[in-house]
Amino acid sequence: MSRSNPNNDIKPALVAEAQRLGFDDVRIAKASVHDDVSKNFDAFIVGEYYGDMAWMAEKADRRRTPQALWPEVRSVISVAVNYGSAVDPLALLDQPDRGAISVYARGRDYHDILKKRLKNLARWLVERSDEADVKVFVDTAPVLEKPLAESAGLGWQGKHTNLVSRKFGSWLFLGEVFTTLDLSPDEPEQDHCGSCTKCLDICPTNAFLDARRLDARRCISYLTIEHKGHIPVELRSLMGNRIYGCDDCLAICPWNKFAEVAAATVLNPRIELEAPQLADLVQLDDAAFRTLFSGSPIKRIGRDRFVRNVLIAIGNSGVSDLDRFVEPLCDDESPLVRAMAIWALSRISLARAVNRREIDMGQESDLDVRCEWAAF
């Protein structure tokens, strides 16, 4: 006769406490991942599809399984917070003079919000069990959080590699509490993508090698957020007006018909970031950038990379009147900004760019910037 697990007596109260703290869903997974998950991750690393995100390769051994990160872990409490928007993110792509910011980044930094809630949940658990030791994670440690969320039953990893929920669609923030308690796991979620390939087909840069296989080096979210250098010229025109992240593959998912608008007011988008004018954003200096994006995840990429993104959007806009904001940036202190200002100016006001080229190119010391002058 098998003995019941006394730790499971705490599970209903744990779920109730997580919901009280503001988590929209909470499930339990074993502290392990399927062998196929590790193999797919290894293939991603071997192919160097991570681009500038070298930390993924450097910490690969710790990422393959929860025990590699913390040998004592027995269970993973996987939580989710809905950040669904009332506005279709794809609608903004038809406004070329506006910048499209990923839905998740239009409000406060979710890392701060979820980390505080997770710490409170972990503290609650420790106070109720002498046996519990805990660690909390929110997208900042080597954790394969989407496969763990799938194992816990929060959703399944769609063909776009992100988690899909039958209740919340593609709009979920994830977090984890690792614990030494042996809790009864929930049933894993099944794959409900079927034959649908809408998320793969809509990708502007063809970043998907196949279903659930992403080349991050072509992904607009990677290019606008993680990539520190000059964006390859062949990808710039494909970025449209996306200046921070990209929601195309998430927004097109048919399961979003069941999605709900986020209830938590703390995650509400800031009005000034819902459809910002490119003309306003491109004029930001470092101080103004820091002020505007205080408390936002956008702040971490810095002014120069952000303005680089805005300049690419301006270059794609076809709005020639924006040239008066672009031209001064051909003299910006940042080579990253200067290079994209030249590219943008050549796209919306070629005559103006040609007039400046001979003098400016002769004075330019940065090779990448000189290449931009020589490219048209």
Secondary structure of residue 93 in the 3-state scheme: helix
pTM passes above 0.85: yes
Q: What is the DSSP string of 264-330?
A: -GGGPPPGGGTS-BHHHHTT--HHHHHHHTTTSGGGGGHHHHHHHHHHHHHHHH--GGGHHHHGGGG
Point out the residues that are catalytic. Answer: 139
Domain residue spans in the chain?
6-85+104-179, 198-251+269-374
Cα dihedral sign for 337, 221, 232, 318?
Answer: negative
**Is 3 a residue whose pLDDT tops 60?**
no
In whole angstroms, how far apart are CA 75 and each of 3, 104, 144, 178, 206? 18, 28, 14, 6, 37
Amino acid 63: pLDDT = 85
Amino acid 7: pLDDT = 63
Q: Kindly state the average pLDDT of the residues 330-345.
A: 98
Kindly report, residue by residue over 107-128, the tens digit of the pLDDT.
999 999 999 999 999 999 999 9
Secondary structure of residue 163 in the 3-state scheme: strand
**Is 130 a residue whose pLDDT tops 90?**
no
Q: Per-residue confidence at 1, pLDDT binned at 50, 70, 90?
A: very low
Q: What is the DSSP string of 182-243?
A: -PPPPPPPPP--TT--HHHHT-TT--EEETTEE-GGG-HHIIIII--SPPPHHHHGGGTTEE
Q: How far apart are CA 98 and CA 75, in angstroms?
A: 45
* Cα 270 versus chain centre, distance: 18
Q: What is the enclosing helix (H) or strand (E) of 76?
A: strand 75-82
Q: Per-residue confidence at 169, pLDDT binned at 50, 70, 90?
A: very high
Lowest mean pLDDT among 133-147, 194-208, 309-323: 133-147
**Is 264 a residue whose pLDDT tops 60?**
yes
Kindly report, residue by residue over 172-208, the tens digit of the pLDDT.
999 999 999 999 999 999 999 999 999 999 999 999 9
Amino acid 60: pLDDT = 82
The β-bridge partners of 178 are 76, 135
Q: Per-residue confidence at 259, pLDDT binned at 50, 70, 90?
A: confident
**Is 241 a residue whose pLDDT tops 60?**
yes
The β-bridge partners of 164 are 156
Helix 350-363 / helix 335-348 crossing angle, nearest 10 deg: 150
**Is 318 a residue whose pLDDT tops 80?**
yes
Which residue is associated with the tokens 């890392």? Answer: 111
Count of beta carbons in the 10 Å neighbourhood of residue 167? 15
Q: What is the enclosing helix (H) or strand (E) of 28?
A: strand 25-30
Kindly report, residue by residue over 66-96, the tens digit of the pLDDT.
999 999 999 999 999 999 988 899 999 999 9
Higher pLDDT, 62 or 164: 164
At 372, list the tokens. Answer: 């931009």
**Is 100 a residue whose pLDDT tops 60?**
yes
Higher pLDDT, 33 or 161: 161
Amino acid 139: pLDDT = 86
Q: Per-residue confidence at 309, pLDDT binned at 50, 70, 90?
A: very high
Amino acid 8: pLDDT = 62
Amino acid 2: pLDDT = 41
Count of beta carbons in the 10 Å neighbourhood of residue 40? 16
Phi, then psi, of 82 in degrees rounded to 5:
-75, 135
Q: Kindly state the average pLDDT of the residues 2-13.
A: 69
**Is 265 a residue whose pLDDT tops 80?**
no
Cα dihedral sign for 293, 222, 96, 351?
Answer: positive
Higher pLDDT, 55 or 96: 96
